[in-house]
């Protein structure tokens, strides 16, 4: 069967003494990763958890996070990775919605978990002298390294990944063992990654990108280097790549310019890197060509996917090649573009993008209405992106999912931010839009219309956002305006609101 635990066990048999994971000056062999995952799985069961129970993961990048994913897989438990940048209220929403039975957290995050500790048991990694009985690593260290006798089916859920919701509340995408192993195998096949490679997981491991990246690496027997710094800095990325002679990685678009600069300035060894992946934003021809010329052995790929899809399409960039496309469907994936009645449209006609294949999520957790809306009767899934297919089957995206904003690789859905602003009694209307930013890609900006006769200080709205939203979701600027563009149903038209913001700021 294709389960995540079996994928690790297979690699541990073949590559027992090979380095599997690197984090700073720490390394673990495949045998050590497998045995520690067995111990952690047993520790979860010693805490009276049962197969199918959900375990929240509030952990930074590191060996503990990687091992926790594999331990949960072996135990038949379901991981719920939580964004470290969320506020306590956002964490509590996901914990409550997923019906989490236990939370595993980093000891440094204990101060923000006072509310959570009132509702469920919280155990810590990194040592917890305040209460040794809640030191999870100490508990696991007392357990046997032998695998548990737990039957895990490939159709069983492995993780529930919360995606920011277009209606204001995140939805939990339920992903099975099978779908996640298939993502690993698909990318290995498409990109030609082998046990001889060294991967570099740069993004936070609560994101599906890095979760899949680590799974991919260990499934094929490669060595995976995990970005070891709490704060992201491009220079640290370059240092790690030089030190470990990284051969493949996924890069957010905003990092690619730094890499192009580094190689042209002689700050990075250009010869080891051979697979460079990116997504979320299209490359321009200048940056594409700088990367291909600067890294002579690199194959540069653009991937399109989502937490719900996995990897849906990909394209390999070439000098002088096409731009703006996200390529052909990945192995095993089918892509259709449908109209409002969910009927296929002709090549070149814009419609909603739907994907079918073995790497799709199973459902939205405890949300049958959203699940039914997302899937067609034939098993095609949409996340709301708009695009068109050429006659050759190449996909072009023309608009991101609804009005999503991407801030340094983090997805922000305007409705979630608008709902916080609208919770102030003086606010009648709110519009949240993304505006260009050279370093982050985009920033969040907001406009509000006040109720008649009301006044407020912008600082009051700032405080509401600080209380209820992660830092990357908070507007860098909030302005009071007389009116906002409304559609026929009296809802704000964000596209026009963004034009309003840009027009007022370009002219100022």
Using alpha carbons, select from 55, 56, 43, 41 the residue that is nearest to residue 3: 41
Query: Helix, strand or coil for residue 433?
Result: strand
* Rama region for 191: left / alpha / beta (φ>0; ψ in -120 to 50; rest): alpha
Range of the domain at 93: 4-16+27-175
430 found inside a domain? yes
Residue 489 pLDDT grade (very low, low, confident, very high; cuts 50, 70, 90)? low
Mean pLDDT rounded to a whole number for the chain: 93
Is residue 135 domain-resident?
yes
- Residue 12 and residue 145 in one domain: yes
Q: How confident is the model at residue 493 (pLDDT cuts 50, 70, 90)?
A: confident
Residue 386 lies in a domain: yes
Shared domain check, 483 and 421: yes
Query: Which range is least confidently modeled, 72-76, 241-245, 343-347, 412-416?
Result: 412-416
The dihedrals phi and psi of 39, each to the nearest 5 degrees, come to -65, -45
pLDDT at 171 over 80: yes
pLDDT tier, 508 (very low <50, low <70, confident <90, very high otherwise):
very low
| pLDDT the model gives residue 123 | 98
pLDDT digits (tens, 9 = 90+) for 400-449: 666 789 898 888 888 889 989 999 999 989 999 999 988 888 999 999 99
The answer to whether residues 298 and 325 belong to one domain is yes
Q: Rounded CA gap, 348 and 388, in Å?
A: 5
Question: What's the CA gap between 102 and 55, in Å, rounded?
Answer: 5
For residue 268, tell me if it sits in a domain.
no
Q: Is 429 left (phi over 0), alpha (psi -120 to 50) or beta?
A: beta
Lowest mean pLDDT among 278-287, 321-330, 353-362: 278-287
Question: pLDDT at position 469, please?
Answer: 94
Let me know whether 353 and 434 are in one domain. no
The Cα angle at residue 58 between residues 52 and 60, in degrees rounded to 5:
130
CA–CA distance from 143 to each of 54, 62, 240, 314 (Å)?
A: 21, 21, 34, 43
Contact yes or no for 307/363 (Cβ under 8 A): no
Of 157, 178, 232, 177, nearest to 201 (Cα)? Answer: 232
Do 44 and 122 lie in one domain? The reply is yes
Same domain? For 477 and 416 the reply is yes
Is the same domain home to 342 and 436? no
Same structural domain for residues 60 and 137? yes
Give phi and psi for 457, each to the nearest 5: -95, 135
Q: What share of the chain is helix, strand, coil (3-state, %, to 5)?
A: 35, 25, 40
Instruction: Determine the Cα–Cα distance for residues 334 and 401; give it in Å rounded to an integer.
Output: 19
Last residue of a domain, which of 399, 423, 444? 399
| Distance, CA of 408 to CA of 139 (rounded, Å) | 37
C-alpha 259/C-alpha 235 separation (Å) is: 9
- Structural domain total, the chain: 3
Q: Please say which residue of 150, 175, 200 terminates a domain.
A: 175
Task: Provide the β-strand partners of residue 363.
Answer: 174
Residue 185 in domain: no
Model pLDDT, residue 39? 98
Residues in the chain: 508
d(CA 149, CA 236): 42
Residue 306, classed as helix, strand or coil, is strand
C-alpha 124 chain-centroid distance? 23
Residues 60 and 76 in one domain: yes
Q: 482: helix, coil or strand?
A: coil
Please check whether residues 90 and 51 belong to one and the same domain: yes
CATH of the domain at 466: 3.30.300.30
Give mean pLDDT, residues 7-19.
Answer: 98
Give yes or no for residue 216 having a pLDDT over 90: yes
37 has a pLDDT exceeding 80: yes
Q: Is residue 384 part of a domain?
A: yes
Residue-wise pLDDT tens digits, 182-209? 999 999 999 999 999 999 999 899 999 8
């Amino acid at each position: 069967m294709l389960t995540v635990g079996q994928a690790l066990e297979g690699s541990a048999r073949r590559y027992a003494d090979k380095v599997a994971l690197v984090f700073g000056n720490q390394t673990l062999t495949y045998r050590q990763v497998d045995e520690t995952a067995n111990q952690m799985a047993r520790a979860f069961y010693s805490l009276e958890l049962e197969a199918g129970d959900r375990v929240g993961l509030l952990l930074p990048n590191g060996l503990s996070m990687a091992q926790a994913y594999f331990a949960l897989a072996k135990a038949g438990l379901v991981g719920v990775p939580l964004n470290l940048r969320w506020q306590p209220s956002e964490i509590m929403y996901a914990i409550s919605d997923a019906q989490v039975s236990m939370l595993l957290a980093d000891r440094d995050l204990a101060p923000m978990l006072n509310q959570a500790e009132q509702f469920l048991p919280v155990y810590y990694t990194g040592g917890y002298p305040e209460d040794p009985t809640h030191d999870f690593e100490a508990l696991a260290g007392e357990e046997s390294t032998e695998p548990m006798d737990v039957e895990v089916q490939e159709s069983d859920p492995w993780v529930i990944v919360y995606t920011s919701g277009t209606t204001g509340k995140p939805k939990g995408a339920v992903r099975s063992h099978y779908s996640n192993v298939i993502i690993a195998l698909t990318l290995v096949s498409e990109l030609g990654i082998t046990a001889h490679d060294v991967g570099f997981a740069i993004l936070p491991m609560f994101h599906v990108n890095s979760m899949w990246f680590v799974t991919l690496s260990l499934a094929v027997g490669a060595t995976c280097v995990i970005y070891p710094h709490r704060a992201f800095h491009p220079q640290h990325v370059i240092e790690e790549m030089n030190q470990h002679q990284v051969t493949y990685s996924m890069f957010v678009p905003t990092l690619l310019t730094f890499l192009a600069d580094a190689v042209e300035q002689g700050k990075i060894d250009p010869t080891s890197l051979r697979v460079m992946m990116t997504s979320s934003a299209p490359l321009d021809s200048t940056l594409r060509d700088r990367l291909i010329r600067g890294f002579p052995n690199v194959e540069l790929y653009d991937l399109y996917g989502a937490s719900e899809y996995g990897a849906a399409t990909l394209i390999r960039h070439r000098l002088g090649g096409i731009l703006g496309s996200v390529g052909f469907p990945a192995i095993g994936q089918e892509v259709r573009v449908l109209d409002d009645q969910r009927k296929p449209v002709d090549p070149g006609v814009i419609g909603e993008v739907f994907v079918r294949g073995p790497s799709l999520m199973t459902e939205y957790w405890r949300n049958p209405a959203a699940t039914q809306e997302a899937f067609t009767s034939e098993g095609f899934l949409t996340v709301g992106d708009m695009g068109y297919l050429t006659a050759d089957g190449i996909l072009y995206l023309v608009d991101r999912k609804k009005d999503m904003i991407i801030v340094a690789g983090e997805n922000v859905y305007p409705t979630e931010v608008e709902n916080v602003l609208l919770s102030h009694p003086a606010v009648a209307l709110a519009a949240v839009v993304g505006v260009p930013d050279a370093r982050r890609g985009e920033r969040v900006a907001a406009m509000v219309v006040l109720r008649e006769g009301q006044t407020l200080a912008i600082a009051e709205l700032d405080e509401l956002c600080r209380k209820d939203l992660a830092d990357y979701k908070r507007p860098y600027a909030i302005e009071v305006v007389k009116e906002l563009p409304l559609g026929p149903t009296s809802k704000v038209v964000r596209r026009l609101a963004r034009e309003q913001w840009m027009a007022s700021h370009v002219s100022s």
